[in-house]
Amino acid sequence: MSLLELKDVTKRFGGLQAVGHMTFAVEKGEIFGLIGPNGAGKTTVFNVVNGYYPPTEGQILFKGERIDALKPYDISRRGLARTFQVVKPLARLTVLENVMVSAFSRTDHRDEARAMALEATAFSEMEAWRDRTAGSLPLGMRKRLELARALAMKPEILLLDENFAGLNPAEVEKTIAIVRKIHESGVTILIIEHNMRVIMSISQRIVCMCYGEKIAEGTPQEVANDPSVIEAYLGAAHA
């Protein structure tokens, strides 16, 4: 049984098909990449997987059970957490408080939530930033806070939406190290990323989307050499 499975998932917004007949399965323990040009439907895949939107058609299974009719809160409680491409922390709360808010999805006890938040901020190497207000963080640290907030939910699978965008080279290296550390701790990862060096080096398998549909699936090497991927995505990216 796959950890996360999409079966023929379609999401339409009015007349626009953002995701069409998407089928793929993420196995426990994988780092699975999702790539494609802007507007391809990648974030919408995350939005239907985490229950933000119901799919128009198709099924989503997590640990073999249908989750496509559940709300985000129920889905995160089952062990699926995500980060957001556009980061939106609670600006006037501190880093630690922001992470505690996430931890409250897993516990009703303040002390326990605090302990989980301390652990998640340590794991994402934000100890020195815990008492800063989220609104005062530089972009790199705001992205890091997103990771810590997702980790505090103790996920079995973590969905990362462009966590590397806008980071400087040192921050990219640091974030790669943290993502690997999360993976080594037993968390399965589904990652959307435009930085080809990052996605090619950390993913075991990749799906490439274009206009909402899957155009290729395979190892990083297979996908990078696929003519349709080069034409739809890599060629344009290199141009």
The partner in contact with residue 13, picked from ligand ADP, Mg ion, none with C-beta cut-offs of 5 to 8 angstroms by kind, is ligand ADP
Distance CA 60, CA 106 (A): 22
The number of CA neighbours under 13 Å toward the Cβ of 74 is: 9
Q: How far is the CB of 206 from Mg ion (least distance, A)?
A: 16
Nearer CB in complex with Mg ion: 43/121: 43
Distance CA 154, CA 164 (A): 21
Alpha-carbon torsion, ordered 15, 19, 21, 22, to 10 deg? 180
- Is position 163 an interface residue for ligand ADP (rule: CB under 6 A)? no
Query: What would the two tokens of residue 65 be?
Result: 């059970």
Counting every residue written for the chain, the total comes to: 239
Query: What would the two tokens of residue 47 be?
Result: 């939005």
Contact 83, 160 (CB under 8 A): yes
Which of 19, 43, 82, 97 forms a contact with Mg ion (CB under 5 A)? Answer: 43
Q: 190, 221, 217, 196: which is closest to 206 by C-alpha?
A: 217
Nearer CB in complex with Mg ion: 132/194: 194
Give the contact letters, 25-54, x = binds to ligand ADP (CB under 6 A), - = no.
Answer: -----------x-xxxxxxx----------
Nearer CB in complex with ligand ADP: 12/132: 12
Q: How far is the CB of 192 from Mg ion (least distance, A)?
A: 6
Nearer CB in complex with Mg ion: 117/159: 159
Nearer CB in complex with ligand ADP: 16/177: 16
β-pair partners for 207: 34, 217
Point out which span in 19-27, 38-46, 175-183, 201-209 binds Mg ion (CB under 5 A): 38-46
Footprint on this chain of Mg ion (rule: CB under 5 A): 42-43, 85
Q: Residues in the site for ligand ADP, rule: CB under 6 A?
A: 13, 16, 18, 36, 38-44
